Structure 1
């Protein structure tokens, strides 16, 4: 798999974590959430340019995640 794809998937996961963290705050910052969601969508768009087929994208994402987290190979 292309290293760029792996970096994009890692960035997408990081932004997802930031969004979840922001939503768990007592008073989430709606502007920050909007910016994070726009960044996440931009990354997703870049990923889908390389993998327009959703099934193919999911397979590539699983491979990348296994490389990033070897413990996930068991599941």
Structure 2
């Protein structure tokens, strides 16, 4: 798989974790959430430029996640 795609998927996963973490706080920082979500969307847009077929992107993302868990 393309190294760029793997890095984008990893960055997207990291942002998802940060968003969940921020949402779990007693008083989430709405500005930080907004910034994180904008970054996540920008990464998703870049992924779709490399993989315009959503089903293919999901298949590759699942493979990258599985490899990361076994590493």
Instruction: Using structure 1 for the length normalisation, give the TM-score.
Output: 0.89
Give the distance between the partners of 1:4 and 1:67, measured in 2 at CA: 16
Task: Report Cα offsets for 1:1-56 as digits up to 9, x if no partner.
Answer: 01111111011000000000000111100000000000000000000101111111
Note the residue ranges of structure 1 that are not aligned, 5 or more in a row: none
1:60 counterpart residue number: 60
Q: How many residues are treated as equivalent by the alignment?
A: 71
1:25 counterpart residue number: 25
Q: Kindly report which structure 2 residues correspond to 1:3-22, keeping only aligned pairs within 5 A, or say none.
A: 3-22=3-22
Moved more, 39-48 or 62-71: 62-71
Q: Which runs of 4+ in 1 moved over 3 A?
A: none
How large is the RMSD of aligned CA atoms in angstroms? 1.1
Give the distance between the partners of 1:52 and 1:37, measured in 2 at CA: 21
Give the distance between the partners of 1:63 and 1:24, measured in 2 at CA: 28
Note the residue ranges of structure 2 that are not aligned, 5 or more in a row: none
